[in-house]
A and B are shown apart, each in its own frame.
Chain A
Amino acid sequence: MTEGRAGFVQLNDVTLGYDRHPAVHHVSGLFEAGSLTAVIGPNGAGKSTLLKGIAGSIKPLSGSILTGSSAPRLAYLPQLAELDRDFPISVEDLIGTGFWQKIGSFRSYSRHDRQLIDVALEKVGLAGFNKRILGTLSGGQLQRVLFARLMVQDAELILIDEPFAAIDSKTVSDLMGLVRHWHDEGRTIIAVLHDMGLVAEFFPDCLLLARECVSWGPTSSVLTPDQLAKARTMIEANDPHADECERAA
Chain B
Amino acid sequence: MTNLASIFDLLITPFVDFAFMRRALVGSIALSIGACPIGVFLMLRRMSLVGDAMAHAILPGAALGYLFAGLSLGFMTAGGLIAGFVVALLAGLVTRVTVLKEDAALASFYLISLAGGVVLVSLRGSNVDLLHVLFGSVLALDDNTLMLLAVSTTVSLLSLAVLFRPLVLECVDPLFLRTVSKSGSLSHFGFLALVVLNLVAGFHALGTLLSVGLMMVPAFASRFWSSTLDGMIAIATLIGILSSGLGIVISYHAGTPTGPTIILSAGALYLLSILFGQKNGLILRLWPRKHLAA
Q: Which residues of A contact B (CB under 8 A)?
A: 55-57, 74-76, 78, 82-84, 86-90, 93-94, 97, 100-101, 104-106, 133-135
Contact of A105 with B176 in the complex, beta carbons under 8 Å: no
Contact of B180 with A101 in the complex, beta carbons under 8 Å: yes
A133 and B228 in contact, given A84-B171, A97-B173, A105-B165 (Cβ under 8 angstroms): yes
Q: State A93–B176 Cα separation when bound (angstroms).
A: 14
Tell me which of A86, A88, A94, A106 has the highest count of chain B C-beta atoms within 10 A of its own C-beta. Answer: A88
A133 nearest in chain B by CB position:
B227
Tell me which of B177, B179, B232 has the highest count of chain A C-beta atoms within 10 A of its own C-beta. Answer: B179
CB-CB < 8 A to A86: which residues of B? 44
Main secondary structure of the interface of B (DSSP, over half): helix
What 11 new A-B contacts, CB under 8 Å, besides A82-B176, A105-B181?
A: A83-B173, A84-B171, A88-B226, A88-B228, A93-B168, A100-B169, A100-B177, A100-B180, A100-B181, A105-B183, A135-B227
- B194 CB → nearest A CB, Å: 16
Tell whether B174 is near chain A: CB-to-CB under 8 Å. yes
Q: State A102–B173 Cα separation when bound (angstroms).
A: 18
Contact of B176 with A97 in the complex, beta carbons under 8 Å: yes
Q: State A223–B187 Cα separation when bound (angstroms).
A: 45
Q: State A100–B231 Cα separation when bound (angstroms).
A: 23
| Other-chain contact of B172, A55, A87, A105 (Cβ < 8 Å) | A87
Tell me which of B169, B173, B180 has the highest count of chain A C-beta atoms within 10 A of its own C-beta. Answer: B180
Contact of A106 with B173 in the complex, beta carbons under 8 Å: no
Contact of A74 with B179 in the complex, beta carbons under 8 Å: yes
Q: State A193–B231 Cα separation when bound (angstroms).
A: 39
Contact of A106 with B179 in the complex, beta carbons under 8 Å: no
A84 and B173 in contact, given A76-B179, A100-B181, A105-B181 (Cβ under 8 angstroms): yes
Tell me which of B166, B176, B227, B231 has the highest count of chain A C-beta atoms within 10 A of its own C-beta. Answer: B176
Contact of B162 with A83 in the complex, beta carbons under 8 Å: no
